[in-house]
Each structure stands twice: as structure tokens, then as C-alpha cells.
Structure 1
Amino acid sequence: MIQRLDGKTIEKIAAGEVIEGPLSVVKEAVENAIDAGADDISVEILDGGKTKIVITDNGSGIPKDQVPLAFERHATSKIRDFEDLYQTLSLGFRGEALASILSVAQVTCRTRTADQSSGYEFTFKEGNLKEVNPIAMSVGTQLVVEDLFYSLPVRKKFMKSDKAEGNKISRLMYAFAVGNPKISIRFTRDTKRIFQTHKDRSLDENLLVLFGSSYFDALLPIEGESPHFRVRGRIGNNTFYRGNRQMEFLYINGRYILDDRIQDEMEGLFKSIIPNGRFPAYQIFVETEARNLEVNIHPNKQKITYDFPDELLDLLKELVSRALAHKPSLPDGKDQTSRQGLFRDLSSEDAYKEIVSSYAWSDKGAPSLGEMDRPYGPDFGPDPALSEKGESDLEAFDEEALEVFEDEGEVLDFFSSINRRNPVDEDREEKEDSPLPPYDDLVFVGILFKTYILLEDRGRDKVFYMDQHAAHERVNYERFCREMKESKPHVQLLLEPLTLELNDLQLNGLEERRRALEEMGYRFDLFGEKTLLLREIPLLFKSPRDDRVFLDLLDMDIPQEWRRHEDMLDRMAMKACKASVKQGDSLHPQEVEALYQALRSCAYPLTCPHGRPTVIVRTKRDLENRFLRNK
């Protein structure tokens, strides 16, 4: 029999759709604080937010007579009619948040407006207002939420552990802190201060406090406009990457959002300059007219739609590519521990100390410089500013093993490939802005372990270590990409076609990748159902086993997100470039010079196509410190 649900049941069902857990409470309350004009916000949680959540702000407050109305469903100060949904710039506007919280938790609201001589404390029990008392407090609002889901034991049972729920809130609070540099934000978890930003500091200075000096040193600014968008922000350079996406932040009109297309585009721009399986760091702020957005398509409003998406992608691609190519940083070989050159806007380490010490970290004071500059990233664990009891507030890094390319068969002789007549290369001018010094300034010292070339720069007391395999991969990759871009791949006509028998999976790969293979320079015909005649191959990758690379390209796994033709072609070019000089091949001094000069002429010489470093640098002072000669 169908029957109408009672009002309390309807409220709890609706509340469960809006308040999915402690994270939802914090998100809704902080967004309300921002909309109320607060420039100082504090969030405290206990037991992952299950036991207690306290959000305090110095916003405009709520007039005493309007507080009960604020906790009713569909009551809001931010819109008046349906059309306002398409014009509102506020973060929260549906009028369901406070009512939903009230339905599933015990709530105390303390608030004061500027025209009131005192504040008032409103105590709600089991969804009903129980008492109102005057209290002394500053202008603003404090929301205390306790015993979440006490009235929905099934929902309470399915919440994750205290740590997991707390981690979700931590990630959200970092997003708020990054996205609102003009608001002082404090976050406390189980009585421990996790971070505090300051409204009077710049975005870069707040990023220093949030993520440490390693990231601060890697920051690259981006800024630009298109007809419908203005973009600004920061990205990490080639030396900084993470094991997951926890430092990818995107904001549109101040709202932190998730956008798969932009995420894929950004990660694609970094794919050949940071290691495979690693992710870039970026904080990007997009501004556009409100009429270009639709933000009410998802309950938590983190996924939105907007007009002119291709225009925005093109703008981001242009800005990020330009920033990455402008001034890449040469790795120092010390696992990101060096702070030399760190203080772009700060004149000394004293300035750094002044910034860090200005934040109320805890009763124990600010972390020491040594603690703050502990290396962090995929190989070193989380930054201490993010840690709690030795563990990160953020989820553990995804320590996927770096892909290692070991060639099984013979490869082209390096010297012949690097000096082969190539009209594309002959017209290239030596790069004046290369991060690598001219070869004439260096002295060839030798080769370590038949892999690492040592080049000494005596004038600057530096030594460069060049990975010959990674360097040759980068040279081949860029040369090959130029040839394909100009539709001039240099090919070798085989005297006798190679006959290859393909299985069903390889035939499917051939059909999917035929266009890309032809653009790379392969020419072939199918004979019968499963026999392929390979007639021409790219000259750059010619080897005694001409079929090996071709079959590898058919067999390689290409994820769904790489199925776009341009991405597939690039991925296949990377794979083909593993047919380069092998680790362990012996090079003569002339070959070393040829390799270095070719690498220095590359558009991006500091990493192989898979993101591993090609060159690192160490200084004489580093060695003197190791041998205690400076003591």
C-alpha cells in the first residue's frame, strides 16, 4: 500500500542527500562563512568530525530574529527567484545546508551582527530549537555540530574510520586555503593545528606554509586571457611532482571544482617532463561571467558545466606550455633538499623564518627550518607541514614503480644516428636560453658505470651527470615529433618486406592505430587475414630486428584517456624512442659531445620522454660538505 511519509522522515531523507558525512558539514559551513564576507575562518574537528565540528568566522553574522529561519529548508539570503540560479556568484545558495545538518546532528549556533550589542546562542536538540541565550562574542558566527547521524544509525554505521573521514576534511581545507589567499584560514584536527594561512600574505607565501619550501622553489606563474576567460595561478616545474592528484587544484569564479577534461589536459602537458605514474602540482584560478556557468547540476556543486570549454582548454595549454618551456630547472641531484635560489621574493632565510614564525602553528612553536625543508614528494613521503603523528593527513602516496625501459635486442649505433644527415636539424640554431651550459665550457671527465657521463664546469665549480640513455631518448623523441609534425618522417625502404603473422589482438591494435603508424613512417599491406607485409620503417629506429618496435606498438596498452589521435601518436612515439642508446653502451668522446649538443638543442632537454631526468648537477661545495672540508 502506498502512503505518504511523515515530515520528519522526509527531512531525514533529504538531509541524507545533502549531508553525506562530516565533509559535507564542513564544506557547507565554510562556504557560508565565505559568502558572509569572513576574512578569518577557523575549523576544528574531533574524531574525523563524527564527534564534533566547530566552524568559527568573523563574517557579517545572522540577525537574531532570522536564525530560526536560517535553519528551515529552502531558506536562503542568496537568491530570490529561479533566474538567480544562473547569476549567483555565491558558493552556497540552495537553502538546504543548515536545515539538513539540523536533521542529523545536535547543533549550537552562536552569532552576532555589527548592530547588536551582544551575541546570541541558539541550542537545537533533535531538530528543534530548545533555548536562546545572550553571550559575549565578536561579530560573526560559530557553528558547533556534534554527534553526527545520531538519528540515522544506519548512515552512521557506514561512515569510514575517523582517520579516513578526517583525511577527506583535510583535503577540503587545503582546497579552501589555496583558493582563498585573502582569507586567514586555520585548521585544527584532534587538538593539533595542521596549518594556518594569513590574509596579509601573498599566494606564494601561503603556498610556502601549506606545502613547504620544495614546492615554493618549484613555482612557475601563469596568467593570460581569452575572449571569455581570464586565467592565473601557479604550477610546479619539472622537479616537483606527486604520487597522486592531491596537489591539483582548479577554481572557477572562486569555486573549487573537479573537471576531468582539464585534469587530463594538464596531466598531458606534463607527461614527458615528469616521471610516468607521477602527477603535477598546480593551483589554477579561472574567471568568467556567471552566465557562462551552470553550477547546480551536482549536489556538492564541485562538478559544473560551462560554455566555451575548448577555448578554456586552449588557453590553459598555451599558458602552461609557455611556462614549462621558459625556464626549466636543472635537478641538483640532492632529492630536492637544496634551498639555494629558493627565496625569489624573500631576501634571506631570516625572511623565511619571519613568514613561518608569524603563523600560530601550535604551543610548540613553528617547525624548524630543517623540519620545513625536509624533502617531500613521491620518494620521500609527505611534507611535515601536512603530517600528523608521522603520517600524512592526506592519503598515502601511490607508489607505483617507475617504468623502466630495457631494450632486449640490438639498437642503432648512437654516433651514426645522432649525426645522420637530417635537414630538420641542420637549420636549428643553438639555444641561447638553454638551462645547459655550452659544451665548450665543459670538460669531459669520463663515464661512470657505462651509463652516467661526467662533465665538469670548472669556471662555476660544478659537475654535470648526464644519463646517456635518457638523453638519447629525449633527442630521438623530439626529432621524431618534428618529423611527424612536418609530415616528413625519414623512412627506410626495406629491400625485402618483412612478413609478420598477427594475432587477433594485434590486428585490432593495427586497425585502431593505422593512421598513427602511417604518420610515424611505417608502410605496410595486409596479405590475407592475418599476414602483414612491412615495407618501410622510420629511419630513426632502424635496427637489425625491424619488426620488434612495430610489434611493440601493436601490443602496447593505451589507456582509454589516451585514445585521442594526437595523444595516441605521442604515446606511440615515446614507446618507439626506447630504441635508443642502451644503458651500458660505450661512447667515445666525440659521441659524448654530439649527444650533449643534440640534447642542449632540444626544446625540453632536462627529462626523457617518460619524465626521468637526463642531467643533474652537483657543486664543489656539495662535495666539500660531504668530506667535512667546510667544518
Structure 2
Amino acid sequence: MPKIKELPVKVVQKTSAGEVVERPASVVKELIENSIDAGATIIKIEIEDSGLKKIAVSDNGEGMDTEDVLLSFLPHTTSKIFSEEDLAFVKSLGFRGEALASISAVSELTIKSRLVSEDFGTRIIVSFGKNEKNSTLGMDIGTQVVVKNLYKNVPARRKFLKSNRTETKHIFSIVIKYALSYLDIGFVLFKDGEEFFNLIPGQSAEERIKVLLGGEIYESLIRLNDEQEMIKLEGFILKPQISAETKSNQYLFVNKRSVSHNLVSNAIKEAYGSFLEPRSFPGFILNITIPFDMVDVNVHPRKEEVNFWNDKYIYDYVFNSVKNLLNSEDLTYKTDINRLSLDKKPSLFLFQHLKESVQYWDVRNVGNENEEIIQIANTFLITESNNGLLIVDQHAAHERIIYEQFLESFNNSESKRVQYVLDKPKYIDFSILELEALKEHYSTIEKLGFNLEEFGRNQYKVNTIPELFIGQSISEVIKEIISNLQENKKAVETKKVKKTLSYLACRCAIKAGEYLTIEQRKNLLDKLALTKTEYTCPHGRPVKVEVSLKSLNKIFKRIK
């Protein structure tokens, strides 16, 4: 009896659905793409219970007749392509004919549609892959797709979903991307019965960016419009000071299709060069218009990646376009007088607090003992390792030890919860995604000592802050704390805090040129071995370098 068997149809449907319908946001994405391909000028999205209870997408596109409605939920049925040759020239967002079939396999699906030339519409109800009911009805021209009880028949899938707020944020992210790309289409979003935003058709890109991404990004836009031969790059890059530790502010479109592409992202980062800190990412909202036969969109299950016909050409083109624009712009950091604390100096309050409250380990307070660790130029320590010769920078090593001690003390300190009442409240604008993240982590932020009040649709008023953040940009601190919480990092370990701690550790550590006794050298290496990151100092310089025994033998020509 053969071991290999053909899977039942229902099993195939569910496994196929897993590739396309990864989470509720995937359903929203596929339905919006269908509406755009249908020529809609208004798309309405409704979600309940982060999309698990209900997702409804309605449009005023061309609609479908009865025959097409009945075919639409069957696997591999599409009106977008008809032959293998068409795959080389895909203009539509959808083309595989998998979406509605995959969605209907894991939900209760209702499709209502009326073709522009028909007097009545058609309704079909499909329950977990089975056609339950067909009927005619009166309705406006266009299509509405309602998805209910998503994954009810696949409970294992629900277990792997994130919190409701996180899943909602993924849905918002999808809608935002299409709203930024298709300015000629109006987007209306409802969440649990409440209108979240209503974007009218024909808005400018700047207007939408301000509503969707927030005032801070809007104020830092630099318009880019560059055309070369058959390719065009247009949209906006952001000023360097709006860089982030993630790619959250990067929106890339190819022929209006939202995609991620490391080559393009890297080209833009390289173009910024020294304008950015090494671990920061620039922000941008850019669309590449390119002939359809010069880009392959059929390379990813969810159509989120593309291949270009010539990667080097695209890289050079994007790099030069961004580089030339940056070189021609005035990139002076513009801010108001209340934000002048955003300089490179550490927080003086935090510096003084830690300096006075933490008894950091001082290598100088150690006696003598006989053990051979050589000190060269009162700067480098040399000792034998298991693999050869170990050379340690004494200042960098001590700096790493003290930095981790300060960081641990700071994270465990109750004093950071002591509140400071601001002389004047600070008003912070949040993007839609930042707002959802803030609501998700509001209780944590409040426990840290921040007091925030809702003040307008996307704005909050800050009245009190933790005492240790005196003198820092409150907007920058809160947004970075939110970002840290989203990535499961320590909430208060912001860039400003880390900069202060590294500066303080540097000031407290032994210096190059300072003599150490044998016992002090030994203790320094022992303490270094106990740190979490013994390889670099807080500024990223190497702490130790090992020369292998093999390398030493080669140097002295003992081996070839």
C-alpha cells in the first residue's frame, strides 16, 4: 500500500488558505486589491474584533454579473490574466485567483455584487468552503464582501495570532499603504462601529501623509521627482533627524503596489551616508514606476516582494536620485526653542543622579597579587588565551563593565517613577499606528510616571513626566518607549538614556595611559568576562582582539 496519498479537497483548501490568509490583515489586503482592480473610487472597510468577528469591504467599482459572482470564490478563477504569457505583463494587483477561495475556506463569506449594466445584484453565501445560498437583491453598483468568524474552523490558527490591538494595527498598516499609493481613491475605515478616518478621493499626498503618518513626518518631507529613460521615482524622503531604529517609516511602492525590497532600502540608506547614525534607517514614501514587463510580481505568496530585471541599474538609479536630492537640500535641523535639548549632550539630570547614587566598580580600588598579565603603554593588557594571544583595551573594558552596571541600576531604580510636573504641558501628535501602539501600552507608560490626556483626534497632552527625563524631548522619549515596548525591549532604555549612560561610563572608566597593578589587571579581565557583551564598548569600539596561535606561527614562519 503506497505511503503517498492525495489530500482531501478540504485539507488542501485549508493549507492553501494558510499561505494567503495569514492573519485578518491579509484578508483586508486581498479585498482592497480586488476593489482597486475593479476601478473603485470609494472603498469602505469595516472591522470588528480585530477582524476575527467581521471584515467588510465595499466599493463602487464595476461589479460582477451573476455568473462571475458564482465563479469568484472557486480556486484559481480570475478575470486578471488568462495565459502564461500574461504573467510577464501583470498590471493588476491580484492575478492568481486564490484570494476569495482561500478566504471562503476559513470563514463565513458573503459576496454581493451588481454589474453596471444590470438592474439587480447577486448575493452568494459560502460557509467554510461550501456554497450555502444564492439570490438576487437590489443594491448599488459595485461589490461588497463580508467575512465573518474568521478561522472558526481552524482554531489552531487563532492561537498564533497576536493581541487584538496588534492585529488591528496590522490592518491599519495595510489600509494606510493603499491610501498613500492611491490618492484618487477615497478610503473610509470603521473600527467596531466607529469611523476611524474618511479620506476623500483626490487629496494631495501631503494631506494624506499628515492625517495618516502624523505632523512630525509631514513637516520633514522632502519631495523627490526624478525620471530617467523608462523609469520614474517619485514621492518623498524624510529629513535625516526623523530616522528610526526600524524600517517603520519606509513605504515603498512599485507601480503603486506596496512591496518591501532590501536592495532599494539599502540604496536609500547608503545615499544618506553619514547623515545617519550607523544603526538608523531613513524614512521615505516612494513609488517606482517601471514598465510592467521589467518587474516580476509573481515571486511571493502574498505578492509583497518583486524582482527587477536589472538590480544594479535600479540600485544605482535610486542611490543617485536620493543622493543628489540630499546634496541640494538645506538639511538644517529646524526646531522650536522648547526642543533645544535635542542636542548630542547627555541628560545632565540623569548624569548627576546616577553619578551620586550608584557605587560603580572601580578597578583602582584593588590591591596586588602576582600573576602575569602584561600592560603595554599603560593602555593595553596582554595575556594568554585558550587559542593564542589576547589583547584588551583597558579603557574600553572598564567602560563596558561600568555601563552595564549603570544600565542595570537604572532599570531597577524606583526613582524613575518620581513624577515631575511640567511648567507647560507638551502636546504630541501621533500617527495612526503610533496611536494604536500608545493605547496598547498606555498602562505601562502611565506606571513609568507619564501623565497623558487625549487632546484632539491624534494628539495627546503630557502634564507630568518621570523625573529622570527632565531636559529631554518628551515627544521623542515617549515614541521611543512605545517602539521599545512593541519590540519587547526595556521601555525606558531610550537612545538618550543609553547615550547618557555610555557617556557617564566613559567618564568614570580608567583612561589610556593609566598604570594598573597586576591584581587590578586580573580583576579587570575577570569582571569583563562576566558582562553580557564583552566584545565592544558602549560606543561600538572593540574591547579585545585575539591573535590565534596559528597566526603567531605564521608570523614567525613556523608554518606556511
TM-score tier (shorter):
0.5 to 0.7
Q: 1:114 aligns with which of 94, 113, 116?
A: 116
Structure 2 CA distance for partners of 1:323 and 1:507, relative to 1, 3 Å: farther
- State the match for 2:333 in structure 1: 330
Structure 2 CA distance for partners of 1:377 and 1:223, relative to 1, 3 Å: farther
- For the 8 Å contact 1:239–1:331, the answer to whether it is kept is no
Structure 2 CA distance for partners of 1:20 and 1:88, relative to 1, 3 Å: same
Distance (Å, rounded) in 1 between the aligned partners of 2:312 and 2:303: 21
Structure 2 CA distance for partners of 1:320 and 1:507, relative to 1, 3 Å: farther
- CA shift, 1:233, in A, is 1.0
- Match for 1:381: what amino acid? K
Distance (Å, rounded) in 2 between the aligned partners of 1:368 and 1:235: 28
- Match for 2:219: what amino acid? D
Distance (Å, rounded) in 1 between the aligned partners of 2:457 and 2:53: 35
Aligned pairs for 1:1-16 within 5 A: 1-16=3-18
Structure 2 unaligned blocks of 5 or more: 341-453, 463-472, 514-543
Distance (Å, rounded) in 2 between the aligned partners of 1:223 and 1:190: 39
Q: 2:225 aligns with which of 204, 207, 223?
A: 223
- Match for 1:160: what amino acid? K
User: Which range moves more in the overlay, 6-15 or 246-255?
Assistant: 6-15
- State the match for 2:459 in structure 1: 371
- For the 8 Å contact 1:244–1:397, the answer to whether it is kept is no
- For the 8 Å contact 1:240–1:377, the answer to whether it is kept is no
Aligned pairs for 1:377-396 within 5 A: 378-381=476-479, 395=486
Give per-residue Cα distances to partners, 1:263-320, cap 9 Å, x unaligned: 1222233352244543322011101111111111110111111112212211211221
- For the 8 Å contact 2:43–2:60, the answer to whether it is kept is yes
Q: Are 1:281 and 2:324 an aligned pair?
A: no
- CA shift, 1:257, in A, is 0.7
Structure 2 CA distance for partners of 1:226 and 1:155, relative to 1, 3 Å: same
- State the match for 1:184 in structure 2: 186
- CA shift, 1:334, in A, is 4.8
Structure 2 CA distance for partners of 1:235 and 1:192, relative to 1, 3 Å: farther
- State the match for 1:450 in structure 2: none
- For the 8 Å contact 2:246–2:280, the answer to whether it is kept is yes
User: Which range moves more in the overlay, 323-332 or 97-106?
Assistant: 323-332
Distance (Å, rounded) in 1 between the aligned partners of 2:548 and 2:269: 28
- CA shift, 1:128, in A, is 2.2
Aligned pairs for 1:27-42 within 5 A: 27-42=29-44
Structure 2 CA distance for partners of 1:131 and 1:369, relative to 1, 3 Å: closer
- CA shift, 1:410, in A, is 8.0
User: Which range moves more in the overlay, 23-32 or 320-329?
Assistant: 320-329
Q: Secondary structure at the match of 1:379?
A: helix
Distance (Å, rounded) in 2 between the aligned partners of 1:373 and 1:59: 42
Give per-residue Cα distances to partners, 1:26-56, cap 9 Å, x unaligned: 1111111111111211222222211111111
- CA shift, 1:139, in A, is 1.4
Q: Are 1:98 and 2:100 an aligned pair?
A: yes
- CA shift, 1:171, in A, is 1.6
Aligned pairs for 1:483-562 within 5 A: 503-504=546-547, 528=556
Distance (Å, rounded) in 2 between the aligned partners of 1:55 and 1:173: 11
Structure 1 unaligned blocks of 5 or more: 338-365, 383-389, 412-500, 509-525, 531-631
- CA shift, 1:322, in A, is 2.3
- For the 8 Å contact 1:378–1:397, the answer to whether it is kept is no
- State the match for 2:304 in structure 1: 302
Structure 2 CA distance for partners of 1:203 and 1:376, relative to 1, 3 Å: farther
Structure 2 CA distance for partners of 1:134 and 1:78, relative to 1, 3 Å: same
- For the 8 Å contact 1:106–1:125, the answer to whether it is kept is yes
- State the match for 1:207 in structure 2: 209
Q: Secondary structure at the match of 1:330?
A: coil
Query: TM-score of the superposition, structure 1-length normalised?
Result: 0.56
Structure 2 CA distance for partners of 1:266 and 1:153, relative to 1, 3 Å: same
Q: 1:68 aligns with which of 63, 67, 70?
A: 70
- CA shift, 1:186, in A, is 2.3
Distance (Å, rounded) in 2 between the aligned partners of 1:377 and 1:267: 24
- For the 8 Å contact 1:52–1:145, the answer to whether it is kept is yes
Q: Give the fraction of aligned pairs with identical amino acids, expressed as a percent.
A: 27
Q: Are 1:401 and 2:489 an aligned pair?
A: no
- For the 8 Å contact 1:37–1:60, the answer to whether it is kept is yes
Structure 2 CA distance for partners of 1:298 and 1:370, relative to 1, 3 Å: closer
Give per-residue Cα distances to partners, 1:204-251, cap 9 Å, x unaligned: 111111122222211101111233421111011133233422110111
- CA shift, 1:65, in A, is 2.2
- For the 8 Å contact 1:214–1:336, the answer to whether it is kept is no
- CA shift, 1:321, in A, is 1.7
Distance (Å, rounded) in 1 between the aligned partners of 2:213 and 2:458: 14
- For the 8 Å contact 2:121–2:137, the answer to whether it is kept is yes
Aligned residues: 392
Q: Secondary structure at the match of 2:287?
A: strand
- CA shift, 1:24, in A, is 1.6
Distance (Å, rounded) in 1 between the aligned partners of 2:461 and 2:180: 20
Structure 2 CA distance for partners of 1:279 and 1:10, relative to 1, 3 Å: same
Distance (Å, rounded) in 2 between the aligned partners of 1:187 and 1:268: 37
- For the 8 Å contact 1:243–1:378, the answer to whether it is kept is no
Distance (Å, rounded) in 2 between the aligned partners of 1:181 and 1:47: 28
- Match for 2:333: what amino acid? L
